[in-house]
Amino acid sequence: MDEVKTTPVLFLEKKDCCACGACVNSCPRDAVSMKEDEYGFLYPYIDADKCVKCGKCKTVCAYQNYKETNTPLKTWAAVSSSERIVMHSASGGVFSTLAAAFLKSKDYVSGAVFDDGFNLHHIITDNMKDLIKLQGSKYTQSNTGDIFRQIKEKLKTGKNVLFCGCPCQVAGLKAYLGKEYGNLFTLDLICHGVPSNRMFKDYLKCYENKKEIKTKKFLFRDKNIGWGKNGSLISYSGKKYRLFESSVSYFYYFAQSLIMRTNCYSCKYANGKRCGDISIGDYWGIQKEHPECLGGSKIDESKGVSVIIANTDKGLRLINEHRGLFNLYESTFEKAAKGNAQLNVPTKYDHKREEILALYADGGWENVEVKFNNEIGLRRYSGYIKSLIPQKLKRTLKRHLKQR
């Protein structure tokens, strides 16, 4: 008697899904699509009328079925040799520098960009004009759509592809492809966790209504304020609004890890076993771990410093082949992990998250904004005050306090 097949169950609990999109891309009948929950987080939904019950969407799930085995081979502190790239990047400009090299060679780059409506999604491009859109941090989750299928088609042409995303997205791409491609190079971000894209857009609308403006450009990290977690917004009138972590509700709750998707609090990639050929992020703590690299003609940490972790031989070759594009200083994984908690453990869960999400589900971001304004008090000015202190003075004060 033939076995009766049933529609797959992709996840039992929200903690078991990262919304990488591998299931969506793998379905031969396009029966799987991403839908938002009450907080805007994406989860896969199966259209039973289209489903042929082949099970590919279930077996391709890297988050549930696969374990990473890569371990760090080499670690550096790094800054791009291009001043222009550094100033348009969140930290030292590693991704942008490699992306520019790929695009210059007429190869492909895939990463997250905002559309005109501030919907974050992945694209693949061989056009240098798209580089500016790919640069910079984006504190929200990207919808991968059918990007894995697009990448596979480009790989088949023999062209090189550089893919950058959260670790779960890199793992999802690898699981979807099902085999190693010598012309695919993956960069996973040292990820703090992701809020939903709808949350960010609702925050933005709330801010626009308050200021009676329309946003033309949004920077989650603005180097003109210094290397840190402060951003800016530019309206269509040309006016620039500086956004400090301590005074912006979205930034504040992001930094406090209170608005991440459920699986971020038990992320299987938040450790030393990385899924990308290279892991990249900010080298937080560079002043303490490598003071010999800073000052004078060396690294100016006020403009940002990246950490590069080569996890595979391919990743090591990629950095060695392009080392002339960077100022590289050898470090260790252990040193880099001291300032990057997600190289050790997942984002810590706080029960306050449920209160924030309940407020959001009940009345949108305006509800969350009211709570923030009621509880933040004078702390809202701390980011602005810190931004007034010159970087060299900050470094001197830190060294003085350390000696004491």
Asked whether the CA dihedral 375, 387, 223, 213 is positive or negative, the reply is positive
AA letter at 343: L
CA distance 235 to 215: 4
pTM of the complete model:
0.93
How many helices, marked H, and strands, marked E, lie in the chain?
Answer: 16, 13
Residue 267, pLDDT score: 97
Residue 2's pLDDT is what? Answer: 46
Query: Collapsing DSSP states into helix, strand and coil, what is residue 188?
Result: strand
Run means of pLDDT, 10 residues per run, the chain, 404 residues: 74 97 98 98 97 96 93 96 92 97 98 98 98 96 98 98 98 97 98 97 97 97 88 97 94 97 97 97 95 81 93 98 96 97 96 98 97 80 55 54 48
What are residue 190's phi and psi, to 5 degrees? -75, 100
Residue 286 CA to chain centroid, in angstroms?
Answer: 20
CA-to-CA separations, 33 to 8, 305, 308, in angstroms, rounded? 14, 38, 34
Distance CA 111, CA 61 (A): 21
> Model confidence over 321-344: pLDDT tens digits?
999 999 999 999 999 999 999 999
Question: Which residues have C-beta within 8 Å of that of residue 400, sequence separation ≥ 6?
Answer: none
Of 99, 93, 169, which Cα lies nearest the Cα of 127? Answer: 99
Render pLDDT for 32-76 as a digit per residue (tens, 0 to 9): 999 999 999 999 999 999 999 999 999 999 999 998 889 999 999
Helix (H) or strand (E) holding 171: helix 167-177
CB-CB neighbours of 38 under 10 Å: 11
Burial of residue 210 (CB within 10 Å: 0-12, 13-18, 19+) is exposed
First to last CA, the chain: 79
- Altogether, the residues listed in the chain come to a count of 404
CA distance 122 to 131: 13
Report how far residue 10's alpha carbon sits from residue 43's, in angstroms, rounded to the nearest whole number: 9
pLDDT at position 54, please? 96
